[in-house]
């Protein structure tokens, strides 16, 4: 799921990746908005807010919004740097960014109740979630070869619209590849929306402790890959026909 890179990736790998991490991103997007009144999985809306605050000469808020955009960028940079430093062909090069993301979400789950609606607190918690989503988006983009993006749907809806139009004019032999890509786009949208619905619903009941759900999903994603690697290694070592 995460350990396969480049040409080794299949449609099944990308669907598994989308199913787990899109749920995580959708969950954080909805729960983060309810918790801090800030969109925490992308920076598109923040760009408009930043421009509006500058126009209104609200320098204090503009500074905070600029910091949020920078933190998303910083998360993407850190994730890419870690993967590149460890090596893209290393099986566990993705572990450190995921652990950082888990730590941020765990901190939000355990300490979010201290949020007192001040600008400093919002700057800290919302900024942390934006950094975590920048980490995840960059990691998934690197692993999937930019096929899967999990933290926002703008590009996904655009690609889906293009590919639906291409189906009408594509040659018969191209239909299969197009249908595979369309199914993947639909899976990304579906799982992101499921995560958003779960985040909105569970935050009302469990407040900040609901952020333990995406932490659990990330733990499962890591364990899934680790155990599959160990099981395959075991069978290779004990298979008498090797």
Q: What is the pLDDT of residue 107?
A: 92
Domain for residue 53, yes or no? yes
Q: What is the pTM of this model?
A: 0.85
Domain for residue 2, yes or no? no
State how many domains the chain has.
Answer: 1
**Residue 87: is it exposed, middle or buried by C-beta count within 10 angstroms (0-12/13-18/19+)?**
exposed
Instruction: Return the CATH number at 141.
Output: 1.20.1250
Domain for residue 1, yes or no? no
DSSP labels for 112-162?
Answer: GGG--S-HHHHHHHHHHHHHHHHHHHHHHHHHHTSS---S-SHHHHHHHHH
How is residue 148 written in tokens? 């899967």
pLDDT digits 0-9 by tens, 91-128: 667 788 899 999 999 999 998 877 666 666 777 888 99
Compute the distance between CA of residue 135 and CA of residue 82 in angstroms, rounded to an integer. Answer: 10
Domain housing 32: 8-238
Domain for residue 203, yes or no? yes
pLDDT tens over the chain, length 242 residues:
555 555 556 667 777 777 888 899 999 999 999 988 888 888 888 889 899 999 999 988 899 899 999 999 999 999 988 888 776 555 667 788 899 999 999 999 998 877 666 666 777 888 999 999 999 988 888 877 777 777 788 888 888 898 888 888 767 667 788 888 888 889 889 999 999 999 999 999 999 999 999 999 999 888 876 666 554 554 455 555 45
* Total count of residues recorded for the chain: 242
Domain for residue 206, yes or no? yes
DSSP labels for 180-209?
Answer: HHHHHHHHHHHHHHHHHHHHHHHHHHHGGG
Compute the distance between CA of residue 62 and CA of residue 19 in angstroms, rounded to an integer. Answer: 35
């Amino acid at each position: 799921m995460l350990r396969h890179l480049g040409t080794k990736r299949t449609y099944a790998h990308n669907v598994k990746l989308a199913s787990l991490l899109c749920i995580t991103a959708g969950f954080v997007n909805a729960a983060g908005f309810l918790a801090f009144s800030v969109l925490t999985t992308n920076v598109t809306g923040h760009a408009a807010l930043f421009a509006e605050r500058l126009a209104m000469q609200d320098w204090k808020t503009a500074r905070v919004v600029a910091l949020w955009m920078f933190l998303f960028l910083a998360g993407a940079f850190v994730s890419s740097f870690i993967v590149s430093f460890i090596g893209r062909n290393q099986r566990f090069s993705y572990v450190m960014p995921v652990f950082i993301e888990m730590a941020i979400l765990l901190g939000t789950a355990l300490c979010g109740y201290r949020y007192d609606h001040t600008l400093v607190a919002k700057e800290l918690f919302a900024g942390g979630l934006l950094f975590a989503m920048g980490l995840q988006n960059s990691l998934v983009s690197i692993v999937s070869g930019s096929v899967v993006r999990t933290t926002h749907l703008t590009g996904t809806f655009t690609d889906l619209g293009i590919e639906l139009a291409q189906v009408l004019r594509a040659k018969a032999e191209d239909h299969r590849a197009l249908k595979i890509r369309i199914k993947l786009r639909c899976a990304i949208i579906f799982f992101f929306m499921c995560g958003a619905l779960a985040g909105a619903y569970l935050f009302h009941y469990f407040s900040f402790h609901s952020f333990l759900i995406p932490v659990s999903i990330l733990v499962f994603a890591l364990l899934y890959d680790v155990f599959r690697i160990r099981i395959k290694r075991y069978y290779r070592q004990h298979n008498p026909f090797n």
